Amino acid sequence: MIIFQDLAEGAEATASISEEKTLSVIDLIVNGGTGSIVIIIVLFILLFVALYIYFERIFAIKAASKIDKNFMNQIRDHIMNGKVDAAKLLCAQTDSPVARLTEKGVSRIGKPLDDINTAIENAGTLEVYKLEKNVSVLATVAGAAPMIGFLGTVIGMILAFHEMASSGGQAEMGSLASGIYTAMTTTVAGLVVGIIAYIGYNHLVNRTDKVVHQMEATAVEFLDLLNEPI
């Protein structure tokens, strides 16, 4: 019985030590003090903004990249048959940057090619601006989040060293915990938010470039169509 009692007490002690060593993310944030909590709240807000912009833009870009493969063939048939109004109607019924660029070109048929090309380029600039809406905010978050995290690191270290200075260099490790927590938690949080925003920004840029290349290819194809002999 004594052996079993000793084993039970040992198990309880081990479980107690294990529980003491377990530290949740919430505890880590709260134990960092007021400075850590404020900075991490700011970082969570930045993370929410970054994720919202990313998913909003990714769906918008995905919708913009969709277009019927026969669209330009239908435009070609309408123009070759002199049905300019039918070509305009087809462009108006197709909600995509490519269709809007083509509509600008179709509406100026009969004018010099330089004027048509300029109109398409101007329309393309507006479409690219729409695609890149708020994407720069992601780049800002990607750069600002780690800096805000490092600001928390500096604040935490200042608090820790201030505690040491106030105690004449005899401060116990427990009294320095708040400053150390602030320094470590804000650094990690800032880097995590910055990495997520950076990856999201580069992915959006890549997807936007594909749509831009699609618009450029369509513009070239349309101008070549106008140069074809009737």
Over residues 105-113, mean pLDDT: 80
Nearest residue to 51 via CA among 141, 149, 132: 141
pTM (whole model) above 0.85? no
Q: Are 36 and 186 in contact (CB under 8 A)?
A: yes
Between 34 and 128, name the one with better pLDDT.
Answer: 128
Residue 174 scores a pLDDT above 80: no
Q: Are 136 and 163 in contact (CB under 8 A)?
A: no
Over residues 159-176, mean pLDDT: 60
Q: Which of 71-85, 137-151, 177-191 has the lowest average pLDDT?
A: 177-191
Between 166 and 10, name the one with better pLDDT.
Answer: 166
Between 165 and 153, name the one with better pLDDT.
Answer: 153
Q: What is the pLDDT of residue 185?
A: 78
Residue 36 corresponds to which amino acid? Answer: S
Over residues 174-192, mean pLDDT: 71
Over residues 50-70, mean pLDDT: 87
Residue 20 scores a pLDDT above 50: no
Q: Are 147 and 199 in contact (CB under 8 A)?
A: no
| Per-chain mean pLDDT for the chain | 76
Q: Are 74 and 102 in contact (CB under 8 A)?
A: no
How much of the chain, in percent, has pLDDT values that exceed 90? 17
Q: What is the pLDDT of residue 21?
A: 46
Over residues 147-155, mean pLDDT: 81
